Structure formats: structure tokens, C-alpha cells
Amino acid sequence: MTLIEEASAGKITIPVATVAGNEGIDPESLTRRVAEGRVAIMQRGDRALGIGQGLCTKVNVNIGTSTLQISQEKEVTKAKVAEKLGADTISDLSMGGDIPCIRREIFRHTTVPITTVPIYQTAAEVGLQKMQGKDILTTIHQQAEQGISSLVIHGVNWRILDLLKGKKRLLPMVSKGGSITSAYMCIHDCDNPFFEFFDEILAILKRYDIVLSLGNTARSGCIQDARDRAQQEEIRQNISLAERAHAEGVQVIIEGAGGHIRYDRIARYIRYYKRHTRFPLFVAGPLPTDIAIGYDHIAGCVGASVASANGADYLCYLTPAEHLCLPNAEHVREGLVAFKIAAHIGDMVKYGKDGADRALSLKRAELDRSGQLAFAIDEDRVKVLAGNGMDCSMCGDFCAIRMMKNYLGSR
């Protein structure tokens, strides 16, 4: 039985109990949320990670080779950096080199849930022109056998493509998986292969209890391209696929409201999703400006904070390398830290989770530098900037906290 089936039968499973313990919530209520599809649990070995209603906002890190840059060693390093700094999940998006071997090594060096986008590997190995639906199924089988915890498919349909053709977007489509799927449909003049093989895909996901993630093909690629009918059609299509998967006992996450979105629209878009569906919402970014190129992790942190505060359950990080190059390990670190900050800001708004902020401030008020470390999002960074000095050197002799401790403290 899958987690949904067991939860629907009222059974509190070990993964549910694990997530409830980690999140500090009641296992009965979590079981109900899993049964209803409001929470998805990714499993890997003994690990269980909950995503969805009432749970802390999670952060995903994308790594993986491209067709132009292939280094198994660098991808493993990125995976290790991501896990060390507290990534909740890692998506291996490799499209170059010996992809199964690279993924095997990533598995060997990590313990967090791993996600894949099977059409990437299929297109890379078989070729966009030659690829057939059955090749995608073969890849899904192989990746399921490797132990992935979730996989992404793109529910693009001809109505979305027609809307994108007719609509004057500055950037018609910026989703790689969505564009590969769309190119396949155009090359073969056929429907989406994931629709044709949806029952077979669900059967594989069910057998391994893998979470289905429905991709955000119609996301906007610049802030000029506001929400349009293509995005609304994608939401409708993804909800319909999600309901079919859920009815089969397969857990689902929907990706949406990602991409480039003007700051004042982000909250509205997130709430729109939340009104239309109960399934956990996965958001890439969003970027509230297009000109932060080289600093997209910072712009993304701003957008993701708003998204998270307004209900996004799961954030896909952005790195400084976005739109520029394949990220290196340092870019992964910077992007992950930025998005952990965004997730934390969101959790403070959603759940009032400010205990660490208070604890750190108490240490700061005591001018206890090393005491602050335990609550820092990136302890190593604090150590580097603090150096070996006992005191903060910013204001020198005129440290406001010290002066007020001396003068107000004695009153």
C-alpha cells in the first residue's frame, strides 16, 4: 500500500510519525492531510520529508551536468555542499555524461530525497528527434529503480501551446522540461506523451511510492509576461492530473506561480493557486525583477519570501549563475542560503516560527558572538566574517549595544 492508501485507512505509518515528530505536529492530523493530498511525503531509506499544509517551508537545490559541462566530481561536490547546508531535497537534472553513473554517485554521497526530470535524461540519451514515449517510460523505470523520491513531468497540452502561439509574450516558454515535451509534441504531431502513458507512469510511481511533481511549463520568463490564459489552463490541467494521481494513491505536488513575477503580484498568484487546489505548491523563485542578473539568488530570495509567507510550501532555489552558466559549488551555497532565508521568513509569517531569531538576539544583546553561531543559517560564513576577534569591529569603541549595556544597564 502507498502512504496515501495507508493514511486513507487511518493508519499512522512510520514516515508519517517521523514527519510529525520532526515538525512537532499531531500524527493523526498529519495522516488526514496525507490522505487528502494536502501533504506529500518524500521517502528515502529511513528519511521522510513532509511538504504541504502546516509544515515548514522546504527548499530544493537543482544540480546536474549540462550537455556542455560534464564533471561527475563537481556534481558530487555540489550535492555534498547542498546536503551539508541543509537542503531538504536535491534535484539531479543531469543531461550530460554517463547520467545513471553520475546519479549513482550523487546517491552514494547524500541521504536527502532525490528528484529527477525523466524527459531530460531521455532527450539527452536518445535525442529529441528519435525519442519515443516508450523511451521515457524506460527512463522512469530506471530512475525509480535507482531510488528517486519524486519525479517531474510536464502537463503541457495543445490548448496551452495554441495560447502561447497566439499570445504576444516576450518569452513564450522558459521551462526546459516543458519545452522538450512541447518540441516532442510538435515533431510527432501528437499529444503529450505523459498523457498517453499516464496510467503506466502512475503504476510505476505507485509501486515505489514516488511523489509526482507536475511541472510549471507556462511560468513567465520575464515580469512583462503577467499571468495569462496559458497559465490558467496549465493550472486546470495540472489539477486534473493531480486528482487522477491522488485517486490512484500516488502523492502529488504541483509546481506553479514560479518564474518572473512582479513583486506586487506574487501574493495574489500564490493565493489564487491555494484557492484552486489543496495539493502542495512548489514554486521556482519567483524573481520580482529581470535585471538582477548575476544576483538572481538575492532577487529570488525577495520573491520567495513573499511566496512562502503567502502559502508556498516548497521553494526551488535560484543561484547567482541563473541565465548565465551551470552553477558551481559556491553558487549552490549562495543560492541555498538565500532560499533558506526566504523559507524561514515565510515560516515566521505563516506559523510565527521566530524562536531562533529571539534566541540569537538575546545572545547579541549579551555581545556573545560565539553564542549566536548556533542560530545562524550559515555558521561557516559567520566564522569567516567574525575572524578571531572577540568583538565586532564595525563601530569600534562606539558599539551601541555595549554603550547602552553600560549606561542604561546600570539605571
**Contacting positions for ligand SF4 (CB under 6 A):** 392, 394-395, 399-401
Pairing type for strands 89-92 and 114-116 reads: parallel
Helix (H, G, I), strand (E, B) or coil at 51: strand
Of 384 and 394, CB closest to ligand SF4: 394
Of 25 and 360, CB closest to ligand SF4: 360
Our measurement of the distance from residue 332's CA atom to the centroid of its chain's CA atoms, rounded to an integer in Å, reads 13
Using alpha carbons, list the distances in angstroms from residue 393 to 32, 121, 232, 384, 389: 52, 51, 53, 14, 8
In order, the DSSP letters of 11-26 are: ---HHHHHHHHHHT--
Of 393 and 410, CB closest to ligand SF4: 393
Of 168 and 358, CB closest to ligand SF4: 358
- What nine digits make up the cell of 376? 545562524
- We find the least distance from the C-beta atom of residue 367 to ligand SF4, in angstroms, to be 7
- What nine digits make up the cell of 383? 566564522
Of 325 and 404, CB closest to ligand SF4: 404
- We find the least distance from the C-beta atom of residue 392 to ligand SF4, in angstroms, to be 3
Of 24 and 387, CB closest to ligand SF4: 387
C-alpha span between 25 and 38 (Å, rounded): 15
Of 74 and 363, CB closest to ligand SF4: 363
- We find the least distance from the C-beta atom of residue 402 to ligand SF4, in angstroms, to be 6
Of 14 and 365, CB closest to ligand SF4: 365
- We find the least distance from the C-beta atom of residue 395 to ligand SF4, in angstroms, to be 3
Contacts 24+ apart (CB under 8 A), 188-194: 191/157, 191/158, 192/154, 192/155, 192/156, 192/157, 193/133, 193/136, 194/136, 194/153, 194/154, 194/155
- We find the least distance from the C-beta atom of residue 364 to ligand SF4, in angstroms, to be 7
Supply φ then ψ for residue 56, to 5 degrees: -55, 145
- We find the least distance from the C-beta atom of residue 79 to ligand SF4, in angstroms, to be 36
Using alpha carbons, list the distances in angstroms from residue 32 to 13, 51, 313: 12, 14, 17
Of 1 and 395, CB closest to ligand SF4: 395
- We find the least distance from the C-beta atom of residue 366 to ligand SF4, in angstroms, to be 11
Our measurement of the distance from residue 400's CA atom to the centroid of its chain's CA atoms, rounded to an integer in Å, reads 40
Residue positions counted in the chain: 411
C-alpha span between 253 and 239 (Å, rounded): 10
Which amino acid, residue 115?
Answer: T
C-alpha span between 339 and 298 (Å, rounded): 9
- What nine digits make up the cell of 181? 515535451
- We find the least distance from the C-beta atom of residue 318 to ligand SF4, in angstroms, to be 29
- We find the least distance from the C-beta atom of residue 382 to ligand SF4, in angstroms, to be 13
C-alpha span between 219 and 171 (Å, rounded): 10
